[in-house]
Amino acid sequence: MIEFFLNGEPRKLSDTDPNLSILEWLRTEMHLTGTKEGCASGDCGACTVSVGVLDPGSRTLRYESVNSCIAVIGSLHGKHLVTVDVLREEPAHPVQKAMIECHGAQCGFCTPGIVMSLFTLHTARQTAPDRLAAPPSHHELLEALAGNLCRCTGYRPILEAARRACAETWTPGGTGKRFSGPDWLQDSAMIASLQRINGEKGSLRDDQGRRCDLPQTLEELRTLRATYPEARLIAGGTDLVLEITQQLKDLGHLISVERVAELQTLTIADDHLYLGAGLTYRQLHEVLPGHWPHFAPLLERLGSLQIRNRGTLGGNIGNASPIGDMPPALIALDAELELDSLDGVRRMPLADFFRDYRQTELQPHEFIRGVRAPLPKANEHLLLYKISKRLDDDISAVLGAFWLQLDNGTVSDCRLAFGGMAAIPKRADAAEQAIRGQPWNDATVAAATAALASDFKPMSDARASAGYRLQVAGNLLQRALLETGSHFDSAFPLTVTDYA
C-alpha cells in the first residue's frame, strides 16, 4: 500500500497497476480532468502538477513542479499532490487572476500546466519571505516556464502574468475544510501524517501480478536486487517511464530507489566530492557550480525544471545514453563509480562503465550507489559545452567536457570527453595526445581538432549530421582555448549563445 495526500485529502492505494502514471490515475480513477496530456514524454508541460516533498531539515513541505505524464503513481508515497483542480476554490489564485488580466491564455490546452508551474513558483516565494522583497528575476521566470510549451500566445503575456502574480499573496477562503486557512499547503496535521508515512514501507501490487517495491534502506534494496534481478530499477523515471508511455511496454516489476536515504548522500572528504546516485539534478545544481562554475549553465539546460526536480544522477548514468549530459562531465573529472550489492561495493572509473550502446558493466544484482570526483586544484579548468537545436529542454547533439591542467601556458595534463560522438560517452584519446605536454595555443588546438577524426566516427541523425558533429567538436576545443585565455574569466562561463 502507498499513502499520500491529494489536494489536502489523504489517499491510500494498494491494488493498483504500478505502471500507471500520475496523470492517467488523476484522469481515469479520480476524474480530475484539469490536468492535460500533451506529449506523454515530459516535453510540453501540459500535465504539470505540484508535488510537496518533506524537507528533511524542517517540518515543512517543499513544492516542486513535476511532469505527471512520466511520473508513476508509486512515486507519490509520503508526498502531497496538488493539481490545477484545487484552484476552483474562491478566491482565485493570483496566478489565475493575472493570467486572465494579462490575456495569457488562448486555446487553453497548455494553460493548466503553465498555471501549475507558476503556482509552484508563487508558493516557493510565499514560503521564503526574503524572496518577496523583490519581484522574480527574468531568469527565474524563464526557468519556471522553460518546460511549458505554448503555441498560441508567445510568452510575453504569460511572463507579465507571472511577474504580477508573484507580487501578490494568496489566502484561500473556500467552503471546504481543506482550504479553510492560509497555510493549508503547510498544514501541520498533514505534515505529521506524511512524516509517519515516510517512516513506513510502501509497495503496490495489482491482480495481474505487477508490483512496485519501495525499499527504505540499502539492505532492503540489496536484498530485493538479488532476489529479483530481472526487476527494473526506477528513481525519477524521466527516462524509464518513456518505455511505458511511448513504447507501450508493461513493466512487471519495479524497484524504486528514491526512498533509500543512503543514495541521497552528499559529502566532501579527502579532497573528493561524493555524490549519491539518488541526488536530483536540482540538488546537484545547488552544489556542483560552487566547485566547477561550468556546471551552472549545463544543469540549467538539462531538461526542464520539471525534469530536474525528478531526474537523478544514477539514472542519467545507468540508462547509458550516448547523449546523457552528466557522464561526459564526470568522465572528464576522472570520476569513480560505486556499484553496490549483497556481494559488497565495487568501484571502477566511470569511463570504463560503458561498454556499447546502452550496455554497461552493471551486473543484474547490482545498483549504482554513487560517484566520487576529485575536487579542483590550482591551475585546473573544467569546461562544459552543450550544443542542441533548442536552448531549453532539449537533448544534446554534441556535448564537450574538457578538463585541463595548465602550467605556464602548457597543457601538463588533460581529459577530453564527448557525448553524442559515439555509441557511448567517450574520451578522445588521440586528441588528448595531441594536446598533452604542448603549448596551449591555436596550433595545438588545430592538431587536436584534426585528431578527432581518428577518435570518432559519429553518426548522422535527426539532431545533427556526422560532419556537423565533428566540426562542432573541434569548434568547442577552440572555444575552450578562448575561454581559458587571459582575457576571459572561467569563473563566469559564457552562455550557449556565445558559442553555439
Question: pLDDT tens digits for 251-284?
Answer: 999 999 999 999 999 999 889 999 999 999 999 9
* Paired sense of beta strands 48-54 and 202-205, if any: unpaired
- Sign for the CA dihedral angle at 468, 471, 474, 478 comes to negative
CA atoms within 13 A on the CB side of 37: 16
Examine the pLDDT at 496 and tell me if it is beyond 50.
Answer: no
Same fold? 92-166, 379-500? no
Would you list the DSSP string of 95-148?
HHHHHHHTT--SS-SSHHHHHHHHHHHHHHHHT-GGGGGSPPPHHHHHHHHTT-
pLDDT band at 495; cut points 50, 70, 90 = very low
Higher pLDDT, 31 or 180: 31
487 pLDDT band, cuts 50/70/90, is very low
Q: How far is CA 448 from CA 86, 224, 303, 455, in A?
A: 58, 47, 30, 10
Question: Is residue 127 over pLDDT 60?
Answer: yes
The pLDDT value given to residue 96: 93
Phi, psi of 435 (to 5 degrees): -100, -40
* pLDDT band (50, 70, 90) for residue 37: very high
What is the dotted CATH code of the domain comprising 92-166? 1.10.150.120
Question: 261-376 — its CATH code?
Answer: 3.30.465.10
Residue 499 has pLDDT above 50, yes or no: no
Q: Mean pLDDT, to the nearest integer, of 180-195?
A: 83
As a whole number, mean pLDDT of residues 22-43 equals 96
Q: Residues 396-444: pLDDT tens digits?
A: 999 999 999 999 999 999 999 999 999 999 999 999 999 999 999 999 9
Instruction: Give the pLDDT band (50/70/90) at residue 179.
Output: very low
Average pLDDT of the chain, as a whole number:
91
> Is the distance from CB of 395 to CB of 387 less than 8 angstroms?
no
d(CA 141, CA 131): 13
Beta strand 336-341 with 266-269: parallel, antiparallel or unpaired?
unpaired
Written as one letter, the residue type at 230 is E
* Single pTM value for the model: 0.91
Cβ(234)–Cβ(214) below 8 Å:
no
pLDDT per residue as tens digits for the range 101-118: 999 998 889 999 999 999
| Residue position matching grid coordinates 567517450 | 426
Cβ distance 334 to 376 under 8 Å?
Answer: no
Could you tell me the pLDDT band of residue 489, with boundaries at 50, 70 and 90? very low
Query: Which residues does 417 contact at the CB level (< 8 Å), separation at least 6?
Result: 327, 328, 329, 331, 332, 351, 400, 401, 402, 425, 426, 427, 428
Are the beta carbons of 363 and 472 closer than 8 angstroms?
no
Pairing assessment for the beta strands 253-256 and 232-234 based on DSSP bridges: parallel
Residue 500 pLDDT: 38
For domain 379-500, say whether CATH 1.50.10.20 is its number.
no
Q: In what order do the strands lie in the sheet with 232-234?
A: 202-205, 211-214, 253-256, 232-234
Q: Please state, in angstroms and rounded to a whole number, the distance separating the CA atoms of residues 140 and 471.
A: 34
Alpha-carbon span 237 to 71, nearest angstrom: 6
Rounded Cα gap, residues 500 and 495, in angstroms: 9
For residues 362 and 339, what is the distance between their CA atoms, to the nearest angstrom? 8
Instruction: With H, G, I as helix, E, B as strand and everything else as coil, classify residue 328.
Output: helix
Residue boundaries of the structural domains of the chain: 92-166, 261-376, 379-500
What is the tens place of the pLDDT at every residue in 50-77? 999 998 777 899 999 999 999 999 999 9
| Integer Cα distance of 212 and 16 in angstroms | 10
* Biggest CA-to-CA distance, the chain: 74
Q: Give the distance from CA 18 to its chain's centroid.
A: 22
Rounded distance between C-alpha atoms, residue 277 and residue 263, angstroms: 5
- The whole-angstrom separation of Cα 385 and Cα 400 is 5
Report d(CA 428, CA 351) in Å as an integer: 11
Q: Given this model, what pLDDT does residue 90 score? A: 75
Long-range contacts of 386-392 (CB under 8 A, 24+ apart): 386/297, 386/298, 386/301, 386/325, 386/496, 387/472, 387/476, 387/496, 387/500, 388/301, 388/463, 389/463, 391/301, 391/496, 391/497, 392/142, 392/146, 392/147, 392/301, 392/304
Mean pLDDT in residue range 207-232: 96
Cell numbers placing 80: 502531497
